[in-house]
A and B are shown apart, each in its own frame.
Chain A
């Protein structure tokens, strides 16, 4: 066997009492596509930060091409030949592609433009060098990030959850690029929790759980179920299959919503039709930035609709086009926004006070005065029923982990016994255990007759959860798909097709 390019031995990193990584060994060889597999919080990100020089290990050694080395900063990592593509891109939106590249890579604009085009052709990373970043799709932005790394001619490329933001077709393009790079001898570290992807592209996998390595395998030798068991340490929790429920009345009906935007980074909604009935879960698939935020704001009532559009949204049997969010909530509508810290909860306030924000109608306010006892009881019940891990109801919302805060916010809305529930990206950044718990509660609620609308980027989630799906692409919504009769490829086609006009 060849000598490893990168070799970690006994690497340990502690943040106070928390052991993020304990005694991690890792070998990466040239030309290998190596998966780092683990749940959120398993220590994947910390490990990457150690390799990319953002953090330094407390114990253990890092060897690069056989020589012990200290990676003190991202700049020194780049000098060694390590590049990293972040999950949340570090691009400048108001600059062009070539300007973004030139901030990191020396050279004249003309020469850089030429190299961008050249690298694009060579590795299937086509992107217009003179385009402004804000005008690019998420997939194109990722290509820019990768190109920016490739400019420095790296020997090791780290990709942090690269597919989480991509539609299925772009995932194939990305994999094609990665294979070409690996054929050139570039080693790739591929961080993910998506098992099928890892099985299809990675040649090695290191599995992390609770900061330690629990497996070092060839992913093709195991099925997804076995990999998942290694990753979470127990059998995968199963969802109760959705039972067919008698179709009830439409609780949400949108008939022909068209809404322009004066935000240059925004998306206009074009002639949207949808309906959600009692006891039904409708999923909106599609990649973020195709009108999701605009649609969510129109449904929640945050966007005031123009007069001509006042009669296109009906909720729980009433026209709600002229109602503000509070009035809509009074009807029995509940909403879990995408942004947990800021929209879903106020980070600086305690869980008790965060309960009052949406549940105040449930006996928590009397003659304008807050009844703290009732609010505290509500928060306590919400914490207990939803398995929220927190010191107690007095904890600040911002101190909870993403998954726990999301469980609390969704639990809070569920306790209001809504007739129509709308969730935007409900399990984004939530670990697999908490995500499964959330999905299970949603299915229970649906079986009890609630109408549920879910916007999500995670196709797998929508396939597990929904009865029907529609795809949002460039502000247009596809016709309905019945989930049980649909395959991911259909949805993938709609992600592109719906954008090509009303063909």
Chain B
């Protein structure tokens, strides 16, 4: 019972870095660009955000600078892939590694330092319930993410902007033929993706675990990329996926505290194992993947 309470209370916060980065990547992929540099963009956002908060800039500025640094790296990626038509996979990997390197370089003087996180905002009444009460005591960023997720869904599903994004992702040549600026739309989508990755990183380093350690992102950017596919490019499913991974990663800790005789390394690898299993199950439904999939994903566009 305590384990369940623990998981419910922490699940959303654990899911938030996954969720924010994955939603950014979803937008980029919807436009037809596969950005594999998310891990590096998160790491850079995490170190820049942490340094800002540690230096007394406050959390708001931490997020602003974290977001801008993620976006800056995404713009480098956009320049080489969209401007110079390089291979998106190779460029994404290279720029991701560059982001990890930069974050380590900037973060070196701050290794193992800590900052103060943010307090939780509880919903009166609901948060007093036994067991599930913890679900309603979250920090401000979690609450904002919960508002942002359906808003993004609405934009993608019901606005001209979302329509345009889908059109560019499916058939950039046709979109260009009827007069839309394909490159500019893709550039904006990638920039948005980097911005979200930066915010996700800053959340991880200044609120979720408010300390800086090199390598602290620990593959969360990769999980975010996987989540987008796992969610078949649909916002609702990406949200559910993020919650699942949040819950599984807490499950590992919970299992250790109740003294389950399972090696901690196995528990720590659970989220990744679950990723692979779930990806396999989802991808076996070819119909779903093809209907929601993005026809031009990863292909460079030249007029």
Give the chain B neighbours of A104 by CB distance below 8 A.
178
State which of A120-128, A261-269, A452-460, A481-489 sits at the interface with chain B.
Answer: A261-269
Is A396 part of the binding interface, using a Cβ–Cβ cutoff of 8 Å? no
A90 x B179 contact (CB < 8 A): no
B294 (CB) vs chain A CBs: closest residue: A94
A75 (CB) vs chain B CBs: closest residue: B179
In the bound complex, CA of A90 to CA of B178 (Å) = 8
A262 x B286 contact (CB < 8 A): yes
Q: Which of B135-179 contact A (CB under 8 A)?
A: 160, 163-164, 166-167, 170-171, 173-175, 177-179
| Given A92-B170, A264-B291, A103-B178 contact (CB < 8 Å) | yes
Is A102 part of the binding interface, using a Cβ–Cβ cutoff of 8 Å? yes
| Given A263-B290, A264-B287, A102-B177 contact (CB < 8 Å) | no
B287 x A94 contact (CB < 8 A): no
A-B contact count (CB 8 A): 47
Which of A74, A104, A264 has the largest count of B CB atoms less than 10 A from its CB? A264
A95 x B167 contact (CB < 8 A): yes
Give the chain A neighbours of B291 by CB distance below 8 A.
94, 264
Using a Cβ–Cβ cut-off of 8 Å, how many residues does chain A contribute to the interface with B?
Answer: 17
In the bound complex, CA of A452 to CA of B256 (Å) = 70
Least CB distance from B167 to A in Å reads 5
B166 x A95 contact (CB < 8 A): yes
A99 x B163 contact (CB < 8 A): yes
A74 x B287 contact (CB < 8 A): no
In the bound complex, CA of A90 to CA of B170 (Å) = 11
Give the chain A neighbours of B179 by CB distance below 8 A.
73-75
B286 x A95 contact (CB < 8 A): no
Q: Chain B: interface residue count, which band?
A: 10 to 19
Give the chain A neighbours of B177 by CB distance below 8 A.
74, 90
By DSSP majority rule, is chain A's interface helix, strand, loop, or mixed? loop
Least CB distance from B161 to A in Å reads 12
Least CB distance from B282 to A in Å reads 14
The contact string, 1 if C-beta is below 8 Å from chain B, for chain A 67-109, is 0000001110000000000000011111100010011100000
A264 x B290 contact (CB < 8 A): yes
A92 x B174 contact (CB < 8 A): yes
Least CB distance from B81 to A in Å reads 22
Give the chain A neighbours of B290 by CB distance below 8 A.
263-265
A102 x B170 contact (CB < 8 A): no
B286 x A91 contact (CB < 8 A): no
The contact string, 1 if C-beta is below 8 Å from chain B, for chain A 249-287, is 000000000000011110000000000000000000000
The contact string, 1 if C-beta is below 8 Å from chain A, for chain B 271-303, is 000000000000000110011000100000000
B287 x A262 contact (CB < 8 A): yes
In the bound complex, CA of A73 to CA of B173 (Å) = 15
A86 (CB) vs chain B CBs: closest residue: B177
Give the chain A neighbours of B166 by CB distance below 8 A.
92, 94-95
Give the chain B neighbours of A265 by CB distance below 8 A.
290
Q: Which 10 A-B pairs have the closest CB atoms?
A: A90-B174, A262-B286, A92-B167, A264-B287, A264-B291, A75-B179, A92-B170, A104-B178, A94-B170, A90-B177
Question: 12 A-B pairs, CB-CB below 8 angstroms?
Answer: A74-B178, A90-B171, A91-B174, A92-B167, A92-B171, A92-B175, A93-B171, A94-B291, A103-B163, A263-B286, A263-B290, A265-B290
- Other A-B contacts than A75-B179, A94-B170, A99-B163, 17 sampled, CB-CB below 8 A, are A73-B179, A74-B179, A90-B174, A90-B177, A90-B178, A91-B174, A92-B166, A93-B171, A94-B295, A95-B163, A95-B170, A102-B160, A103-B167, A103-B175, A104-B178, A263-B286, A263-B290
